[in-house]
Structure 1
Amino acid sequence: MSHATVQELLERSNRLGADPTTTNYAGGNTSAKGSATDPVTGGPVELLWVKGSGGDLGTLTERGLAALRLDRLRALPGVYPGVEREDEMVAAFDFCLHGRGGAAPSIDTAMHGLVDAPHVDHLHPDAGIAVATAADGEALTAEIFGERVVWVPWRRPGFQLGLDIAAVHRAHPRAIGVVLGGHGITAWGATSQECERNSLEIIRTAQAFIDARAGGAEPFGPVRPRFAALAPDERRARAAALAPVVRGLASTDRRQVGHFTDSEVVLEFLAGEELARLAELGTSCPDHFLRTKVRPLVLDLPADAPLDRTITRLRELHAAYREDYRAYYERHADADSPPMRGADPAIVLVPGVGMFSFGANKQTARVAGEFYVNAINVMRGAEAISTYAPIPESEKFRIEYWALEEAKLARMPAPRPLAGRIALVTGAASGIGRATAERLAAEGACVVLADLDAGKAAAAAAEIGGTDVAIGVGADVRDEDAVRAAVDAAALAFGGLDLVVNNAGLSISKPLLETTVADWDLQHDVMAKGSFLVSRAAAGVMIEQGIGGDVVYISSKNSLFAGPNNVAYGATKADQAHQVRLLAAELGPHGIRVNGINPDGVVRGSGIFAGGWGAKRAEVYGVPEEELGAYYAKRTLLGREVLPEHVAAAVFALTAGELAQTTGLHIPVDSGVAAAFLR
């Protein structure tokens, strides 16, 4: 029976979690009660399976469930010390667990265990929260649902809320669920199917009521023409220009990754006359404001304001936001409150352009934006049927700086070395570039893979991970506009740029007398000019961000070693090598470090060698092409072949933090070529 019960629970959870208007990412929880065999006694035992702490309904698997003994859960009210000490009950859940493994029980476990119904859903639907945050939500709940749904006044999630809902369930046998003031909904059922139907009935009934009341009203107020959305191309260009500035401000306390949203619902909200009033009220559902902070930063200039004035105003508003947030903390903190975690905004609203959201990684930043879209939908619904009235600021603080939330944060694994960093790698579809992109992503960075072949760049990015990790773009580094577009793509995808790897290259192996002007120009355009264009565009973004950065040139041992039949390639590599020194000197005051790597003979996986360079070099050295890597290895001091991942490791070593005081350096990755020693 347990397997069928669990499978039904997972399927129901995944269906409910698939719709962001039904419940937000990682929000809400579902449960089922049933019988299993106790492996100790061999007899039956009654269990509760409930989504554990930190899981997501849409992707929930059995490992994300906590399994607890119902007899022990139902005994907990007997030892409950009262609402002032209810947080102690979370530790008691551990003594109710059945077996090892599974997820940690969440704060909402009491709601599921104490409600005497076989199946329970707790969700955060936009329509349900709209009713829950309406100024007259209790009266509206009665009007909308009659006796089928009961109003429960705001109470912070916890053991007492579980007791309250259990009491409502006992006192209202005809009810299918409750609206939780300021928070969301809970529904129950005798079967998994009935529970899901009841959840959806509450949501759809609430939405139908909102739609009927809304009519042609403007819940966000009349549109302010100068704050209306810019044309799509103009909007994206403006967003790319602003993203590094906004990210730098949002990273004042700790480095953040960004996400940009310019959906219709966001742009409509930003254009309305009620923007300032509604944004100041902040979000209400605990899951929302835990990720979006107590309120957003809102730019108060129209979309057509000059860019420099907009940037200046954003900096002024950011300074004021930090002061206001500190004041908020000091108003509500007491001796037992955790330290203030940071005073920067998680949501920045720019009328006419869109919303920037921030987090420790791309997924967190994206989800914060999704949650604020949920909050906008909630405000729309609440304003359509009443007046939006979220929970008080003091209650928001109690949750934001909740000891249990602090403990959850402390349990999170340590960030990877490049977490929060945004990298752009050129020539990234193969060879050194591909290996470097893979290594940077594995170490926590968000990576933009740029390559002349856009399709191969996109395919390589997809293999590294989803769009929260890597994206691929087409870029000819010889083209100033194409380079600018690649840097803009990084800004729009992740918020800015911290780390650039100038790797794009090619080589044509010919003696001096056979080297044409076209041969010379092509190699210099791709590597010397291309590196210059990429570094210039990237440095502009890094300077705007104000949080430093890294530029790495993949040069060559040929920048030092005078190899045969190699004049154009060797000369352009020497050009790149000196760019490292020049830019290190110029960009150092901005905290931007510039370093180079000098590989030798990276044959395996190389696009350059596969494109004819390998055959030419093998001919020069008088060896079969398939033995070229081994030939290069034999002439080194270590006698080992250099592979793409060895160069990638050097990029990581330079940028991961242990060499933070190093700039202007060239690292040889050549297994020891004495003729190319730095001197």
Structure 2
Amino acid sequence: MAQHPVVATLLARSHRLGSDPRNTNYAGGNTSAKGVATDPVTGQPVELMWVKGSGGDLGTLAEAGLAVLRLDRLRALADTYPGVAREDEMVTAFEYCLHGNGGAAPSIDTAMHALVEAAHVDHLHPDSGIAFATAADGERLTAACFGDAVAWLPWRRPGFQLGLDIAEIKRTRPQAVGCVLGGHGITAWGATSEECEANALYIIRTAEAFLARHGKAEPFGPRLEGHQALPEAERRRRAAALAPVIRGLASTDLPQVGHFTDAAPVLDFLARAEHPRLAALGTSCPDHFLRTKVAPLVLDLPPTAPLDETIARLRELHTDYRAGYRAYYERYATADSPPMRGADPAIVLVPGVGMFSFGRDKQTARVAGEFYLNAINVMRGAEAVSGYAPIEESEKFAIEYWALEEAKLRRMPAPKPLHARVALVTGAGSGIGKAIAHRLAAEGACVVVADVNTATARAVADELGGPDRAVAVTVDVTSEEQIAEAFRTAVLAFGGVDLVVNNAGISISKPLLETTAEDWDRQHAIMARGSFLVSREAARTMIRQGLGGDLVYIASKNAVFAGPNNIAYSATKADQAHQVRLLAAELGAHGIRVNGVNPDGVVRGSGIFAGGWGAQRAATYGIAEEQLGAFYAQRTLLKREVLPEHVAAAVFALTGGDLTHTTGLHIPVDAGVAAAFLR
């Protein structure tokens, strides 16, 4: 079916507005359009409204993300509206107004669009508009900035009554093109899509200009001595040292993925005298504090404080934060309130270093940080021309623990087995490592793709979905500094590391008398020594996190099977196999499990086999290289070829959550080689 022209126009407007962060935050706000379509049942024209449904983002909105409702039924709800005390019931009533299958689930803001007598309505969360909305004298500022072109509406919780209030403004103030919603955002309207968009942008840009023209130079106060940002390299090293500790604290109740930013506005805010007072006031726009919690945790030490002292203070502040959040919950919770969802902070601010944000996945964590950056911009604007005065704490609680918000959370799909876990896989640019990276990502993990080949690592990271799912790092596992830098990149990208797979390796197949000391040293440097170095750095990170973890070694059937012409490779694989046992014994006290996988004959897709190992082994067995996979299969009990995906499945079996009490184990993935049975 061809797309309705009204829908095409609405989506184009939404994309333009949503693509500019000055207009609205990610997933914030909604747009709508009204028009006439043919009822497929009666064949008669019917008035419809298309409006962004619950969830989704304006910048990427698709037709499937629109709710489609009948206007006559929506407007009839005004006659049966039971009042503010029962307005949550109206969301259920919207379901009886859907046209056809209705599209996306209608959001709480549907009434705002339906009841306003305008063909097009935009509700947005621009920083400049929210600065007016949260200013102590926002009504006066709105009048001073816009005259009678934009109305002021005091804070009212989103819902049907807010829609009625905005409709009344539109009806009684025909000169108004929109309104500032106290503590919330802006709404604009127009007879055409172009007029509506122009009115929304007029409000946003005029507010920006007013703040720039009338705002004081240093709204956050003078600089705090000793709180200036550290130099970039030192700042990021400090952030990398703190990230696993902070992530561990933020994951006390629920596992979290982290995000770090040292954006200039964050560093400037934290270097100013007023930042403790303003941070304690919390955010205001409902979209903000639903993502960032009622307030952040703010470190009260300068960035030059000793690291151990900083960590100890963060632990103290975290204990205080949890007690404060529980007290906040208990102040306002009623018998009907949902259970407390967790008392850990979503935002942690470290002066001179930056902001750590947390969420159930990387995107959620990143967006939480973006929302707090929005909040900083809002505070700056409000403080520049007035004073920042967010909505009352009781109202924040009512939004955070709203039954409708709880219902939205319950509609979310169940988390995948490796949800909120961060994996680092060495040698992940090809073959077994690539297959492992793909499997772990498919099971919900964020993945750090580590490989000596930068191009292949980046290609795999792109295949996995880009920076919200995977990042690439260049790692020669013989280099301690490159390994340390890889883990710094991992913890700054995702907050920490939970699962490390030692897979990097090479193979040189020669008889004893032809094996040089250089051959021996190279094999052992990459696999035995490299695995040791990676595991040591992984253990440092995991111990700082305090969340346990998994180390998995991709060893080999050759670790226990004696074959010809393979002394260097097999000896180093035996070394890796015993590292599994040694580290399982040592790291168990920290909740870190160490296990291994012993593959055999993984030819297809293998970088090792393609790099000459395949030709060497084929020559050893007196067969053509292209027959090597079939040859290995025929010598097994199951007569099956082993593929990279089979090894990846074993890694997932060890780490996916079912084998929680297993450590020190080696799993053969060789299709059955009796001589390699573990005894």
**TM-score, normalised to structure 2's length?**
0.99
Q: Determine the structure 2 residue equivalent to 1:157.
A: 158
Q: Does 1:37 align with 2:29?
A: no
CA contact (8 A) 1:604 1:644 kept: yes
Matches within 5 A, 1:341-420: 341-420=341-420
Residue 507 of structure 1: SS of its match in structure 2?
A: coil
- How far apart in 2 are the matches of 1:19 and 1:350? 28
Q: Does 1:111 align with 2:112?
A: yes
Q: Which amino acid aligns with 1:352?
A: G
- How far apart in 1 are the matches of 2:308 and 2:417? 34
Residue 11 of structure 2: SS of its match in structure 1?
A: helix
CA contact (8 A) 2:69 2:102 kept: no
Matches within 5 A, 1:580-591: 580-591=580-591
- How far apart in 2 are the matches of 1:370 and 1:438? 28
Q: Determine the structure 1 residue equivalent to 2:608.
A: 608
Q: Determine the structure 2 residue equivalent to 1:570.
A: 570
Q: Determine the structure 2 residue equivalent to 1:594.
A: 594
Report the Cα offset of residue 563 of structure 1.
1.0
CA contact (8 A) 2:326 2:343 kept: yes
- How far apart in 1 are the matches of 2:512 and 2:46? 85
Report the Cα offset of residue 68 of structure 1.
0.2
Q: Determine the structure 2 residue equivalent to 1:464.
A: 464
Matches within 5 A, 1:216-227: 217-227=217-227
Q: Which amino acid aligns with 2:88?
A: D
Q: Which amino acid aligns with 1:444?
A: G
Q: Determine the structure 1 residue equivalent to 2:492.
A: 492
Report the Cα offset of residue 10 of structure 1.
0.2
Q: Which amino acid aligns with 2:576?
A: Q
- How far apart in 2 are the matches of 1:21 and 1:547? 38
- How far apart in 2 are the matches of 1:81 and 1:447? 50
**Structure 1 residues 235 and 649 mapped into 2: Cα distance closer, same or farther (>3 Å)?**
same
CA contact (8 A) 1:2 1:36 kept: no
1:326-356 Cα offsets, whole Å, 9 max, x none, are 0000111111111100000000000000000
Q: Determine the structure 2 residue equivalent to 1:267.
A: 267
1:65-114 Cα offsets, whole Å, 9 max, x none, are 00000000010011111100000000000000001151100000000000
- How far apart in 1 are the matches of 2:453 and 2:254? 35
Q: Determine the structure 2 residue equivalent to 1:168.
A: 169
- How far apart in 2 are the matches of 1:55 and 1:575? 51
Report the Cα offset of residue 4 of structure 1.
1.1
Q: Which amino acid aligns with 1:167?
A: E
Q: Does 1:675 align with 2:679?
A: no
Q: Determine the structure 2 residue equivalent to 1:46.
A: 47
Q: Determine the structure 2 residue equivalent to 1:187.
A: 188
1:270-289 Cα offsets, whole Å, 9 max, x none, are 10000100000000000000
Q: Does 1:531 align with 2:531?
A: yes
Q: Determine the structure 2 residue equivalent to 1:129.
A: 130
- How far apart in 2 are the matches of 1:619 and 1:225? 71
Q: Determine the structure 1 residue equivalent to 2:8.
A: 7
Q: Does 1:628 align with 2:592?
A: no
CA contact (8 A) 1:520 1:568 kept: yes
- How far apart in 2 are the matches of 1:418 and 1:81? 45
1:156-213 Cα offsets, whole Å, 9 max, x none, are 0000000000011101001000000000000000000000000000001111000001
Residue 255 of structure 1: SS of its match in structure 2?
A: coil
- How far apart in 2 are the matches of 1:474 and 1:220? 41
Report the Cα offset of residue 320 of structure 1.
0.3
CA contact (8 A) 1:210 1:385 kept: yes
Q: Which amino acid aligns with 1:204?
A: R
Unmatched segments (≥5 aa) in structure 2:
none
Q: Determine the structure 2 residue equivalent to 1:320.
A: 320
Matches within 5 A, 1:288-299: 288-299=288-299
Q: Percent same amino acid among aligned pairs?
A: 75
Q: Determine the structure 1 residue equivalent to 2:143.
A: 142
Residue 176 of structure 2: SS of its match in structure 1?
A: coil
CA contact (8 A) 2:68 2:102 kept: no
Report the Cα offset of residue 2 of structure 1.
7.0
- How far apart in 2 are the matches of 1:654 and 1:348? 33
Residue 179 of structure 1: SS of its match in structure 2?
A: strand
Q: Does 1:521 align with 2:521?
A: yes
Matches within 5 A, 1:434-453: 434-453=434-453
**TM-score, normalised to structure 1's length?**
0.99
1:650-674 Cα offsets, whole Å, 9 max, x none, are 0000000000100000000000000
Report the Cα offset of residue 225 of structure 1.
3.2
Residue 623 of structure 2: SS of its match in structure 1?
A: coil
Q: Which amino acid aligns with 2:207?
A: A
- How far apart in 1 are the matches of 2:21 and 2:62? 18
Residue 646 of structure 1: SS of its match in structure 2?
A: helix
Q: Determine the structure 1 residue equivalent to 2:429.
A: 429
Q: Determine the structure 1 residue equivalent to 2:282.
A: 282
Q: Determine the structure 2 residue equivalent to 1:120.
A: 121
Unmatched segments (≥5 aa) in structure 1:
none
Report the Cα offset of residue 223 of structure 1.
1.1
Q: Which amino acid aligns with 2:248?
A: G
- How far apart in 1 are the matches of 2:31 and 2:466? 27
Residue 47 of structure 1: SS of its match in structure 2?
A: strand
Residue 100 of structure 1: SS of its match in structure 2?
A: strand
Residue 228 of structure 1: SS of its match in structure 2?
A: coil
Moved more, 549-558 or 15-24: 15-24
- How far apart in 2 are the matches of 1:56 and 1:102? 15
- How far apart in 2 are the matches of 1:345 and 1:52? 29
- How far apart in 2 are the matches of 1:460 and 1:340? 39
Residue 259 of structure 1: SS of its match in structure 2?
A: strand
Report the Cα offset of residue 20 of structure 1.
1.5
Q: Which amino acid aligns with 1:573?
A: K
Q: Determine the structure 2 residue equivalent to 1:83.
A: 84
- How far apart in 1 are the matches of 2:252 and 2:669? 36
Residue 116 of structure 1: SS of its match in structure 2?
A: coil
CA contact (8 A) 1:63 1:101 kept: no
- How far apart in 2 are the matches of 1:592 and 1:101? 49
CA RMSD after TM alignment: 0.7
- How far apart in 2 are the matches of 1:496 and 1:225? 31
Q: Which amino acid aligns with 1:77?
A: A
Q: Which amino acid aligns with 1:381?
A: G
CA contact (8 A) 1:266 1:373 kept: yes
CA contact (8 A) 1:21 1:374 kept: no
Report the Cα offset of residue 530 of structure 1.
0.3
- How far apart in 2 are the matches of 1:458 and 1:307? 33
Q: Determine the structure 2 residue equivalent to 1:207.
A: 208
- How far apart in 2 are the matches of 1:467 and 1:21? 23
- How far apart in 1 are the matches of 2:131 and 2:152? 13
Q: Which amino acid aligns with 1:356?
A: F
1:467-520 Cα offsets, whole Å, 9 max, x none, are 000011100000111110111111010000000000000010000000000000
- How far apart in 2 are the matches of 1:219 and 1:345? 26
Q: Determine the structure 2 residue equivalent to 1:56.
A: 57
- How far apart in 2 are the matches of 1:225 and 1:20? 32
Report the Cα offset of residue 55 of structure 1.
1.3
1:422-467 Cα offsets, whole Å, 9 max, x none, are 0000000000000000000011000000000112101111111110
Aligned residue pairs, count: 678
Structure 1's consecutive aligned runs of 4 or more residues displaced over 2 angstroms after TM superposition are none
- How far apart in 2 are the matches of 1:102 and 1:73? 16
Q: Which amino acid aligns with 1:477?
A: V
Q: Does 1:21 align with 2:4?
A: no
